[in-house]
Structure 1
Amino acid sequence: MKYLKFILLFFALSSIISCGGDDDICDSGEGTPRIKIMFKKQNKIAEVDSIRVYADLGTNMIDLGWKTAVDSVFVPLRVDDSAFTDLYVKTTTQEDSTRVRVNYTTKSIYVSPGCGVKRNYENVNSVLSTPNSLKSVEQGQNFIENEDKTNLFFNF
């Protein structure tokens, strides 16, 4: 009986200790990166008073909401096999949205059992249609492996 209690206690403690390994949670930035967009006015990095960005992810439209007094935003891109993501930008409630199509090629990379596969984006470029307050789009780094570098500049 004495040994049975010891064995049960040993198994209970070992099962508690073995739970929650490093592969259970993907929280160290190893997931699919978002595109970083910075804003320029008169060819200088600047804050915009207000901006609203929508991303068309194919099955649904993601609304990032109104951002005020920011110089950059992070926007998710599509993770399916599509070669582009449409972004819609507006700076006032009265203006029509400006569409920016972000074109790219994707590359899947295995990260870990907990994180699975992430997408990296290569050959990133953009096309601006119907400019409003957004006058032009400037190319930054043309690949997205993480969220450190700026990929697009929106010129207002």
Structure 2
Amino acid sequence: MKYFKFLILTCFLGILFSCGGDDDICESGEGTPRMKIAFKSAESGKEVTVDSLYVAVDYGSGTKVQLGKTANVASRLIPLRVDDAPYTDIYVKTRLNGTESKVRINYTTKAVYVSPGCGIKKTYENLTTELITSTVVKKVEVDLNQIENEDKTNIFLLF
């Protein structure tokens, strides 16, 4: 019985001291931010809601990663490349079997140390866009040329 109490006490103390604080968990938006895109009408220049949107991204492997379909969307968050490449290619279409537009997002990256749990996050600066294929998207406007968080819209796609 004496050994059993010692074992229970040791397990309890081990559990008590193994609980870490919140400083090692990266949950409060401290990671690498995604780019926020919104949509405007090409005729009026006013923000619009797109009834269906299909987005794919080429992260450097040569294959497009489908980010899925969203319906009735006013803005969308898109993760950019985290390697040292100076651009990310984004493919946008409004119908499943429709034609897609290719938008190249050019930027420079900067690495910032956050914490032991989060590690290093990338921030994107000097954003410029290049509309490579303009089928669905007619024009691209840069609203904010740096990405430090996900709160503000960086790019507007004009349909």
Structures share fold, TM-score greater than 0.5 = yes
TM superposition outliers: structure 1 runs of 4+ over 4 Å: 4-10
Deviations 1:54-89 (A, max 9, x none): 111113532111111101100000000000000001
TM-superposed deviation, 1:96 = 2.0
Identify which range, 89-98 or 119-128, moves more after superposition.
89-98
On the 8 A contact 2:100/2:136 being kept in 1, the answer is: no
Identify which range, 56-65 or 86-95, moves more after superposition.
56-65
Q: Could you say which residue in structure 2 is the equivalent of 1:146? A: 149
Instruction: Please give the TM-score of this superposition, normalised by the length of structure 2.
Output: 0.88
Q: Could you say which residue in structure 2 is the equivalent of 1:54? A: 56
TM-superposed deviation, 1:10 = 4.5
CA distance in 1, matches of 2:34, 2:66: 14
Q: Could you say which residue in structure 1 is the equivalent of 2:106? A: 103
Identify which range, 23-32 or 121-130, moves more after superposition.
23-32
CA distance in 2, matches of 1:51, 1:61: 16
Q: Could you say which residue in structure 1 is the equivalent of 2:74? A: 71
Q: How is 1:6-155 mapped onto 2 (pairs within 5 angstroms)?
A: 8-21=7-20, 22-41=22-41, 42-59=44-61, 60-155=63-158
On the 8 A contact 2:99/2:136 being kept in 1, the answer is: no
CA distance in 1, matches of 2:122, 2:75: 22
Gap regions ≥5 residues in structure 1: none
Deviations 1:112-135 (A, max 9, x none): 111111111011111112211211
CA distance in 2, matches of 1:153, 1:104: 16
Identity %: 50
Whichever residue aligns with residue 51 of structure 2, its letter is D
Deviations 1:24-57 (A, max 9, x none): 4311111111000000112111101111111111
CA distance in 1, matches of 2:116, 2:9: 28
Whichever residue aligns with residue 57 of structure 1, its letter is Y
Gap regions ≥5 residues in structure 2: none
On the 8 A contact 1:137/1:154 being kept in 2, the answer is: yes
On the 8 A contact 1:102/1:126 being kept in 2, the answer is: yes
